[in-house]
Structure 1
Amino acid sequence: MKQKATGDLALIKKINTSIVLEAVLKHAPLSRAQISELTGLNKATVSSLVQDLIDSHLVLEIGPGESSGGRKPVMLLFNGTAGYAVGIDLGVNYIRGLLVDLEGNVIAELERGLKRQDAEFALGQLMDCIERLIREAPGSPYGIVGIGVGVPGIVDDRGTILFAPNLKWREVALQQLLEERFGLPVTIDNEANAGAQGEQKYGAGRGIPNQIYVSVGIGIGTGIVLKKELYKGASGFSGELGHLSIEYDGKPCSCGNRGCWELYASENALLERAAALGHDSLERLLAAAASGDEGVLALFRSIGDYLGAGIANIVNVFNPNVVIIGNRMSLAAEWLEPAIQAAVDRRALPYHRERVRVLFAELREQSAVRGAAYYAISKFFSKIKS
């Protein structure tokens, strides 16, 4: 019996430590007395747990706050520079990477084009990017706490990419490869899920319970957040709404289906149609639109109409508070937005469209890479608290 009681006390201490750390993360700067008020834990317990967190380099004392009559209280802050995390957005034609501190602040970033999609070449580029970011990390008590990667495909719970149609990858055990190479905890997820997490934590989705993040790049992926939780579906593979059929007998898709939404509304679809106008990149199209090129403006309106058609389906099915459009095509927000909104107004059910807002990602192209880095930070916190 005595041993069980000791075990129970250790568990209670871990739970209480987690509660105190959460209070500091959410409400700092604050005093020990304020933590006691917020959590309901007594002052002696809070004082002991705070000291443990200070000794663990996770909490800092920053000097006196405002007095409420007695001695000025010592204020506490979370030590965001106690460690660092690497986030990677592995795109079809780019790799984007960040080094962030434990509060998600960006310390270093890099981006490079990906000229070939074969796994051997792309993985070599990915490893090199991660190594470069790790070398940028300042000295810290916890060092690099983990790596998060968003990928354009279906990922299982072991971090294996089962199928990435636009990369033409199948069965790539990415988590295992990276853990063996770097000896760090690694989290792999679909890039649209990572983007949804990025916008919910740091961007346009903050504090919004039901949101659908639509990643519009070479393909289209979606991250579904319901009641503030990422929805993964029965097998963990939800969110492949880029492969909704919007034309019954439409173009064949690399996924094996026909008439998929991403064939008509993605960056790839835009570039295919832009070739006839003499443009071969999104950047050139943005410049042409900014200079008032009517052919390019009409093309953006058409792509916006297709995007709106798919978003209307999402609105009718999920009835979200917001739909957030992110990834590369969010750079064209100014020219896409009117057509998207018109299509949603025309196609969505009236009760659904009354309250939904269509937004563009606050983090623009960085939603997924910020979300990937957050996965690594979150895994570190869950280990600290467990």
Structure 2
Amino acid sequence: MALTGDQFLVKEINKTVVLEAIRQHSPISRAVVCKITGLNKGTVSNLVNELIESHFVYETGPGESSGGRKPVILMLNSRAGFSIGINLKVHLISAILTDLQGTIIERIEVPLNTISQDDIYGHLKRTIQSLISKVPDSHYGVVGIGVAFPGTIDESGTILIAPTLKWKNVPLQKMLENDFSLPVVVNNEAKVGALGETEFGLGRDSTNMLYISIGHGIGASIMLNKELYRGQLGFSGEVGHTTFYIQGETCECGNVGCWQHYASVKPLLHQAAQIDGITEHLHRFGKTSPDMDVLVELAKEENKHVILLFESIGKNIGIGISNLVRILNPELVIIGGEMAAAEEWLIQPVTQMVKQRASLYYEKQLRILFSQLGDDAIFLGAASIAISQLFKKTRVTIN
């Protein structure tokens, strides 16, 4: 649909541009905003005044002079509002409260011993209520809630299918909006993690990136020209359910031989439970079954069985990545999620397999990195989606 912009539309577009410049580059002067945006001095001055009045921006005082009068420095008012970011996993709800710059104010973890939709939703509501009760005084309060979820999710935030939790057609976004009267965005954990890495992590300087989240399942997110590629229906990135072994085990999704059955945390823990003497080690750590924390500690102790297990899983991860690299030819692959904690023992077998099976792509400056943010990439990505709900009030989009 073609739109003819009037003065109001142009003004709103320019305000968006100015706000984004301050958001990305503060502390910043009006003169530098003019230089970055290409807008004239009078326009920038008027728009900055409006942003100050709406509590998005504030002045901190004079900056360094380059020869004339000292410029007044502008800052994003990061405490104008707060966001809630949630990572809902198979066995755990992790949630954070952040300011508008993504600084974490509060953090909550709630273990889950059930896959019951009603029970999990009850825990989720109580977690959100707890974070809301901890919000400092601010102009906007909680501006939004972002939820990262391990499943296939449509644009309305409905969980179409989540095999690991056995959820199907759950309108989670609408449910939370009805209960909290706040803007809510629910998205796949891998897509949210990619946004977190792009804004806060290793993907900040990357144009074409592949982010792979490996937990009890495997999901991926594709960033093309710094934009999230969603696919025709928004379902891109379901790489965990691509076929890895045609005569393999039946997956929760109904297919056979899915990649995540051979390269995720789930098979890792299943195989770890079969290690000789594992019970004795579990007792030392006060655990009744293996988890990633225990396995990482055992690997640090140079337990050869655990190290060999990581190497085996790492090779399977590398085989899957090599297939994706051949298809997408990214400049950067980031491995995130729970599995990123085992980087020390995974990086060699992963890169070895990619080099063997996609050598041309590997040699042409492909980088494979493990997330330094870990699960925080998913928290922060979810929180940044929530923050975007506030900034959309000043954002104009034209299709």
Which amino acid letter does the alignment assign opposite residue 385 of structure 1?
R
Which amino acid letter does the alignment assign opposite residue 373 of structure 1?
A
From 59, 62, 75, give the equivalent of 2:60: 62
Cα drift, residue 353 of structure 1: 4.5
2:355 aligned with 1:345:
yes
Cα distance, 1:83–1:105 mapped onto 2, change above 3 Å = same
Which amino acid letter does the alignment assign opposite residue 116 of structure 1?
T
- CA contact under 8 A between 1:322 and 1:357: conserved in structure 2? yes
Structure 1 counterpart of 2:153? 155
Q: Deviations over 1:298-338 (max 9, x none)?
A: 11110001110101111111000111111111111101111
Instruction: List structure 1 runs of 4+ shifted beyond 4 angstroms.
Output: none
Structure 1 counterpart of 2:37? 39
- CA contact under 8 A between 2:269 and 2:290: conserved in structure 1? yes
2:287 aligned with 1:287:
no
Which amino acid letter does the alignment assign opposite residue 381 of structure 1?
F
Cα distance, 1:353–1:307 mapped onto 2, change above 3 Å = farther
- CA contact under 8 A between 2:269 and 2:291: conserved in structure 1? yes
SS in 2 for 1:80: coil
Q: What's the % identity of the aligned pairs?
A: 47
Which amino acid letter does the alignment assign opposite residue 308 of structure 1?
G
Q: How many aligned residue pairs are there?
A: 382
Cα drift, residue 120 of structure 1: 0.3
2:366 aligned with 1:322:
no
- CA contact under 8 A between 2:355 and 2:362: conserved in structure 1? no
Gaps of 5+ in 1: none
Q: Distance in 2 between matches of 1:341 and 1:352?
A: 9
From 372, 375, 379, give the equivalent of 2:389: 379
- CA contact under 8 A between 2:153 and 2:187: conserved in structure 1? yes
Q: Normalising to structure 1: TM-score of the pair?
A: 0.96
CA RMSD of aligned residues (A): 1.5
Cα drift, residue 16 of structure 1: 1.6
Matches within 5 A, 1:1-386: 8-277=6-275, 278=278, 280-386=290-396
SS in 1 for 2:127: helix
Which amino acid letter does the alignment assign opposite residue 281 of structure 1?
D
Q: Deviations over 1:193-239 (max 9, x none)?
A: 00111111101111201111111101111111111111111111010
Q: Normalising to structure 2: TM-score of the pair?
A: 0.93
Cα drift, residue 349 of structure 1: 4.2
Cα drift, residue 378 of structure 1: 1.6
Q: Distance in 1 between matches of 2:35 and 2:301?
A: 58
- CA contact under 8 A between 1:316 and 1:349: conserved in structure 2? no
- CA contact under 8 A between 1:315 and 1:353: conserved in structure 2? no
- CA contact under 8 A between 1:326 and 1:365: conserved in structure 2? yes
SS in 1 for 2:335: strand
- CA contact under 8 A between 1:83 and 1:140: conserved in structure 2? yes
Q: Distance in 1 between matches of 2:361 and 2:239?
A: 22
Cα drift, residue 367 of structure 1: 1.4
Q: Distance in 2 between matches of 1:338 and 1:352?
A: 14
Gaps of 5+ in 2: 279-288
Q: Distance in 1 between matches of 2:387 and 2:88?
A: 18
Q: Distance in 1 between matches of 2:236 and 2:362?
A: 22
- CA contact under 8 A between 1:316 and 1:352: conserved in structure 2? no
SS in 2 for 1:364: coil
Q: Deviations over 1:77-110 (max 9, x none)?
A: 1111110000000001111101011111111111
Which amino acid letter does the alignment assign opposite residue 353 of structure 2?
A
Cα drift, residue 69 of structure 1: 2.3
- CA contact under 8 A between 2:325 and 2:361: conserved in structure 1? no
